[in-house]
Amino acid sequence: MSERSTPHHGHDHAACIELFTRLSEYIDNELDEVSCRDIEAHLADCPCCTACMETLKRTVAFCREVEERPVPATLSRRLQEIVAGLAAPKPA
Amino acid sequence: MAKAEKKKVEDADTDLIAAINAGRVERFQELVTRYQGKLYNFGLKMCGDSRDAEDMVQDTFLNVFKYLKDFRHETKFRNWLYRVATSTCLKRRRKSKYAPDRELSLDEFLPKDEADISDTVPQWAAQPLAQVLNEELAQRLKTAIVELPEKYRLVLVLRDVEGFSTTETADILKLSVANVKVRLHRARLALREDLKGYFKNE
């Protein structure tokens, strides 16, 4: 895919596959500087890998935005009763 | 030689835990109030069902109460709490009849043919997040998360939903950092495939 002259991007290109396996680490800033630079150089020259990276990044962003549901009142009550039972003085 | 004692981790819960362990048992309610929402939502994603999530939260707090005296503050309380919750969740699921976990391989996420490869960033990834995220998509995402095989789902929920670091996730699940990274990447790729399908049909 880094060979821009190729009319069709064969995604079996070794560099693309290598990048594909490390995309999450790249997104999470868990790679060393040299690896990051290599990936950025590849991305700059490979629109397919850029699209792949952006969609993965967006997937992660969606997960972080998942809204939380409120705790059902029945559960809160049940937990309060349990704690009250635990805190109650034990019969001698 | 005596084993060096690990440094105690102080956090926002340290004083409350000390009070409970010193006999102020009624203050356990404060701990419950603080974490019931997070645990319930964690349970929803792990169990996929509100009733199971509620039972999981109850069992988790009972286990936390039982073992709180043994908590050595070697990690943040929140991390330990999720370790208890995870183990409670896994025990509950093993009691019920679930199909064995499916393995996700990297190969299944590689493009199958030229038609599968896009050289442009699709709108759903290019537009501002707020313009794309709506109720229907959020529901689709939740379903896709619940449908992930359990061992991948656990890692994804802890890392990308709950916001734990890779090291914390490894610590909670007692896995190696490398293993967490492998599972997380495959889980994310599986979700991405689902989203691609959703936006293709939209």
The whole-number pLDDT of residue A15 equals: 87
The amino acid that residue B61 corresponds to is F
Indicate the burial class of A56 (C-beta count within 10 angstroms; 0-12, 13-18, 19 or more): buried
- Tens digits of per-residue pLDDT, B80-107? 999 999 999 888 776 665 556 789 998 8
The confidence score (pLDDT) of residue B95 equals: 65
Sequence-ordered alpha helix ranges (H) in A8-91? 14-27, 33-45, 47-64, 73-87
Residue type present at position B12? A
**How much is the pLDDT for B122?**
95
Residue A62 is nearest to which of B141, B166, B185, comparing CB atoms? B141
pLDDT at B101: 78
B185–A65: do the CB atoms touch at under 8 Å? no
Which pLDDT belongs to residue B201? Answer: 76
Nearest to B191, CA basis, from B162, B164, B161: B161
Angstrom CA distances, B12 to A92, B77, B82, B85, B162, stand at 35, 9, 16, 19, 17
Minimal Cβ distance to A47: which of B44, B57, B119: B119
B5 to chain A, closest Cα gap in Å: 29
Q: Does pLDDT of A4 surpass 50?
A: no
Segments making up each domain of chain B, as ranges: 14-95, 106-201
Query: pLDDT tens string for chain B (202 positions)?
Result: 555 667 889 999 999 999 999 999 999 999 999 999 999 999 999 988 899 999 999 999 999 999 999 999 999 999 999 999 999 988 877 666 555 678 999 888 887 766 677 889 999 999 999 999 999 999 999 999 999 999 999 999 999 999 999 999 999 999 999 999 999 999 999 999 999 999 987 7
State the Cα torsion A81-A82-A83-A89 to the nearest 10°. Answer: 90
* Closest CA of chain B from A37, distance in Å: 20
In CATH terms, B14-95 corresponds, of 1.10.1740.10, 3.40.50.2000, 1.20.1250.20, 3.40.50.720, to 1.10.1740.10
Task: Map out the domains of chain A with their CATH numbers.
Answer: 14-87 (1.10.10)
Alpha helices in chain B (DSSP H): 14-21, 28-47, 50-67, 77-95, 123-126, 129-132, 135-147, 150-156, 166-173, 177-201
- Rounded mean pLDDT of chain A? 87
Amino acid B116: pLDDT = 73
The pLDDT score that the predictor gives to residue A29 is: 97
The predicted pLDDT at position A5 comes to 37
Instruction: Compute the average pLDDT of residues A36-44.
Output: 94
The CATH architecture that domain B106-201 belongs to is Orthogonal Bundle (1.10)
Judged against a pLDDT cut of 50, whether residue A7 lies above it is answered with: no
Residue of A nearest to B195 (CA): A59
Q: What ipTM does this complex have?
A: 0.90
Question: What pLDDT score was predicted for residue A10?
Answer: 52
| Higher pLDDT, residue B130 or A6 | B130
Question: Considering CB atoms only, which of B29, B57, B166 is closest to A30?
Answer: B166
- Report the pLDDT value the prediction gives residue B99, as an integer from 0 to 100: 59
Identify the closest residue of chain B to A22 by CA–CA distance: B185
Q: Scanning every residue of chain A, which has its alpha carbon at the shortest distance from the alpha carbon of B161? A: A64
Q: Do B192 and A11 touch (CB under 8 A)?
A: no
